[in-house]
């Protein structure tokens, strides 16, 4: 919940020139709902795509305060973030709810950035793989693999400055890849698995060097144009 419309515009005025020539990286910005229309217009002739941070699974109806997938595509979104840990922990979203949202998003042609991850207590209890397996199995029930991006975000590393080590990130991503193979077969190799959890300009290079890390879901470091641009232009 950052950046009013004028702040989002100022951010893009600084950010777009820094990444204009980046052709081998997919860049996606996810502003709050109030800035989507303005940002959509600003991105039209750029190499940056637009995502929403959430949606409601219904196309329309008596759901006061909610935003439908049809409204997101209408405003120019190509992606949507679903299952974020804050939606799960602060707003009570369940695996079933998230599954319904994923199916609805895909029905409207939106690519889904599907977030999964364990809490600190779950990791310390040795439950990491059980949690990830459950979230994927339930969240992707009946969902085709096309247009799905998995975002591993260890809850204990979000906004805490405590990043998973490269070994921890790779171990989790490798497990996610194996689980996807069980769900979808060989196509699992083509599904992007991105890491989110205190990603910074300082640690992006080591994270991206991991075999199964295909990108990053950037939080606080994405609020400043220079640091986000450095993440986009990580040392390959």
- Give residue-wise pLDDT tens across range 171-223: 999 999 999 999 999 999 999 999 998 899 999 999 999 999 999 999 999 99
Q: Which of 93, 111, 118, 153 is catalytic?
A: 153
Q: What is the pLDDT of residue 130?
A: 98
Query: Catalytic site residue 84?
Result: yes
Q: Which of 84, 93, 118, 173 is catalytic?
A: 84
Q: Average model confidence (pLDDT) for the chain?
A: 96
C-beta separation of 205 from 162 below 8 A: no
Determine the straight-line distance between the first and last CA of the chain, rounded to whole angstroms.
31
How many helices (H) and strands (E) the chain has is answered by 10, 6
Quote the strand ranges of the chain, DSSP E.
27-29, 48-52, 79-82, 111-116, 148-152, 193-195
| Statement: residue 89 has pLDDT above 80 | yes
Q: Which domains does the chain have, with CATH numbers?
A: 5-24+79-232 (3.20.20.70)
Query: Catalytic site residue 79?
Result: no
Q: What is the pLDDT of residue 72?
A: 98
User: What SS3 state is found at 202?
Assistant: coil
Give per-residue pLDDT as tens, 29-68. Answer: 999 999 999 999 999 999 999 999 999 999 999 999 999 9
Q: β-pairing, 79-82 with 27-29?
A: unpaired
Report the percent of the chain where pLDDT is more than 70: 99
> pLDDT band at 157, cuts 50/70/90?
confident
Q: What is the pLDDT of residue 76?
A: 98
């Amino acid at each position: 919940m950052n950046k009013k419309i004028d702040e989002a515009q100022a951010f893009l005025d600084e950010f777009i020139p820094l990444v204009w020539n980046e052709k081998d990286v997919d860049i996606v910005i996810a502003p709050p709902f109030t800035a989507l229309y303005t940002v959509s217009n600003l991105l039209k002739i750029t190499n940056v795509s637009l995502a929403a941070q959430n949606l409601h699974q219904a196309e329309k109806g008596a759901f006061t305060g909610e935003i439908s997938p049809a409204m997101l595509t209408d405003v120019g979104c190509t992606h949507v973030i679903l299952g974020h840990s804050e939606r799960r922990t602060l707003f009570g979203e369940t695996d079933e709810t998230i599954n319904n949202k994923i199916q609805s998003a895909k029905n409207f042609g939106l690519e889904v950035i599907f977030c999964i991850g364990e809490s600190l207590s779950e990791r310390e209890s040795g439950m990491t793989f059980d949690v990830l397996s459950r979230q994927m199995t339930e969240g992707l029930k009946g969902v085709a693999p096309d247009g799905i991006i998995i975002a591993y975000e260890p809850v204990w590393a979000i906004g805490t400055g405590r990043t998973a080590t490269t070994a921890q990130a790779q171990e989790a991503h490798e497990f996610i890849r194996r689980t996807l193979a069980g769900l979808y077969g060989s196509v699992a190799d083509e599904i992007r698995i991105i890491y989110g959890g205190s990603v910074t300009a300082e640690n992006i290079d080591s994270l991206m060097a991991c075999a199964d890390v295909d990108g990053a879901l950037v939080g606080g470091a994405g609020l400043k144009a220079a640091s986000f641009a450095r993440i986009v232009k990580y040392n390959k």
